[in-house]
Structure 1
Amino acid sequence: MRQTPLPYRIVTASLLTVAAVYFLVPVYWLTVSATKSTGDLFGTFGFWFADPRPLTRLGEVLSHDGGIYVRWFGNSLLYAGAGAVAATLLSAAAGYALAKFPFPGREGIFNVVLAGVLIPGTALALPLYLLFSELGLANTYWAVLVPSVVSPFGVYLCRIYAAAAVPDSLLEAARIDGAGEGRIFRVLVLRMMTPALVTVFLFQFVHIWNNFFLPLVMLSDSDLYPIQLGLTGWQGYADRQPELYQYTVGGAFLSVLPLMVLMGVLQRYWRTGLTEGSVK
């Protein structure tokens, strides 16, 4: 096996190091800043600790204003968790149907799905608000949950993966054995599409967790806010309540922990899901 020339390896390692530093430095700053008081946050060196009391500082974040941050955290888990699970199942069903069931207009529907991938979510926020207002669902949990269950990218990925990873012969054998389409989908197809489904779930969870504009348009009750919208509200009042600067930093630190855990747990499925369907 031919070894890669040393100059190329040095350049590759250097570029990866620069990229790692670029992405990890903000996380390091956030970790350090979350342990500081408001005075130390502005009066000490930003990249080193000063009287670190992480449990005390984070406890203040969680207890401020009657524990509103805990409610925001729970709202984000509800929006991202329920929305990602529903979007994954819907994408799996749609992708499988588009891949394995020929019907008139199938390619046209798939082209519409591809067009949906290109439409930014911010362009749909206002029409969705007007629609949900007419239905009486604005400023409710449903106003954020329902739009979150639609993932054009998930449908696209599931169709590509199902076409490559689910053999027609296996489906025909299951039908000959008397299995219904619903049972085939639940027992065989979902298991075979697990890498793609985990990939869709991860992408959708991160997208919903970081979504800011849709909740901003849909919600006016602070009890329904996700973390991102709540922290923005804190930052807006920080000029009058300086301690909110520290609470915002601490809340931002806590908000990235679920994403880090989820990425670490699902990383191997994510890599597999991105590659298997494209090479089988």
Structure 2
Amino acid sequence: MTVTTIKKKKPQRSPLLTLLTGVVLIYAILPLVWLVLSSTKTQDDLLGSFGLWFGGEFALFQNIADTFAYQDGIFGRWVLNTVFYVVAGAGGATLLAALAGYGLAKFDFKGRRAVFAVVLGGIAVPPTALAVPTFLMFAKMGLTDTPWAVIIPSLVSPFGLYLMWTYSTEAVPTEILESARCDGAGEFRIFFKIALPLLAPGLVTVLLFNLVMVWNSFFMPLIMLKNVNLYPLTLGLYSWNRQATTVGGDVVYDLVITGSLLTIVPLTVAFLLLQRYWQSGLAAGSVKQ
């Protein structure tokens, strides 16, 4: 008997690819480093010291306290508004995408091709192109300057629907659904008890995309909202920054930068906690068995 030894090939190294990856890494990390370092500086140090190093006084905690105390604590209100918009908008968009994607993948009905074309068309159209028509429609319905003006547009996610459609096709075996139907289970019970757990990785992926989209939403709240108490974080920090550049306005660049740092912390935590689900959701369906 002869034993054949199979040697594993070492992965090839490309100096050019390593260099390009390093450049991309620096490009991505450098603004974050600047943001973190700038958040530790006082207003004077921020304007008078080197941007990529600490200032004379470590003022991070004082800046955080001042950010939450400025203008009677309006920043805390913006945080709660953003969390509410994310829970209602991103959560609702994810659930609707799961329902619609599962239905399109597992039910055969007339018009599926037309729906597919509409979904692809929705992905191709940039949201800014629909901003003005959406504003005019909401203005006629009297929904502008209300939370609904931010939540309702967030519920429509063509890209999320497409992801759930393609993911449901492979992740949910048709045989399991037929077995549950034979046992007398209803369609909604089948979806929530059987299909939904199987769709968890894909759901997390869509949820993260929707979370980032709603959390960083700026243009739609800008044209929809006038009441400062309804602002999300992005629009609130923009108003502070615009105030700092206005003649006679308070120069609060330190608070704008500290608020920006606080804004990205929840997104970073969400990605770190859900990373393994996100990666498995992206890879699912890529290998045909």
Matched, 1:102 2:102: no
The runs of 5 or more residues in structure 2 that have no matched partner are 1-7
Matched, 1:238 2:244: yes
Matched, 1:46 2:51: yes
Aligned residue number for residue 195 of structure 2? 189
- Show CA shifts across 1:165-214 (max 9, x none): 11111110111111110100001111111111100000000011111100
Identity %: 45
Deviation at 1:242, TM superposition (A): 4.9
Structure 1 moving runs of 4+ over 6 Å? none
1:1-280 paired onto structure 2 within 5 Å: 1-6=8-13, 8=14, 10-50=15-55, 51-239=57-245, 240-280=248-288
Aligned residue number for residue 4 of structure 2? none
SS in 1 for 2:252: helix
Whichever structure has more helix as a proportion of its residues is 1
- Show CA shifts across 1:206-239 (max 9, x none): 0111111000010010100111111111111113
TM-score (norm 2): 0.93
Which of the two has higher C-alpha Rg?
2
CA contact (8 A) 1:164 1:278 kept: no
Deviation at 1:14, TM superposition (A): 2.6
Give the RMSD, CA atoms, in angstroms.
1.2
Deviation at 1:267, TM superposition (A): 1.1
Q: Distance in 1 between matches of 2:88 and 2:30?
A: 32
Deviation at 1:19, TM superposition (A): 1.5
One-letter identity of the residue aligned with 1:268: R
The runs of 5 or more residues in structure 1 that have no matched partner are none
TM-score (norm 1): 0.96
Deviation at 1:128, TM superposition (A): 1.0
One-letter identity of the residue aligned with 1:76: T
Deviation at 1:149, TM superposition (A): 0.8
Q: Distance in 1 between matches of 2:16 and 2:87?
A: 40
